[in-house]
Amino acid sequence: MLPNQDEIFARQMDVIQRQNMLELSSKFEELFGFKPGKTTSRGLRKRLAYRLQEIYFGGLSEHDTQILNDIADKDPMSNLNPATAKKLTKREGTRFRRVWKGAEYEAIAVGDGTFEFNGKKYKSLSAVAREITGTRWNGKLFFGVKANG
Q: Each residue of 41-86: pLDDT tens digit?
A: 999 999 999 999 988 888 888 898 888 888 877 766 665 555 555 5
Q: Which residues of 77-105 are buried (b: 16+ CB within 10 A; e: fewer)?
A: eeebeeeeeeebbeeeebebebeeeeeeb
Range(s) of the domain holding residue 114:
76-142
Task: Calculate the average pLDDT of the chain.
Answer: 83
What is the pTM (predicted TM-score) of this model? Answer: 0.46
51 plus 82 within the same structural domain: no
86 plus 136 within the same structural domain: yes
Number of independent structural domains in the chain: 2
46 lies in some domain: yes
104 lies in some domain: yes
Of the candidates 15, 30, 57, which is a domain's last residue? 57
64 lies in some domain: no
* Low-confidence winner among 7-11, 33-37, 111-115, 117-121 (lowest mean pLDDT): 111-115
The total of other beta-carbon atoms located within 10 Å of residue 75's CB is 10
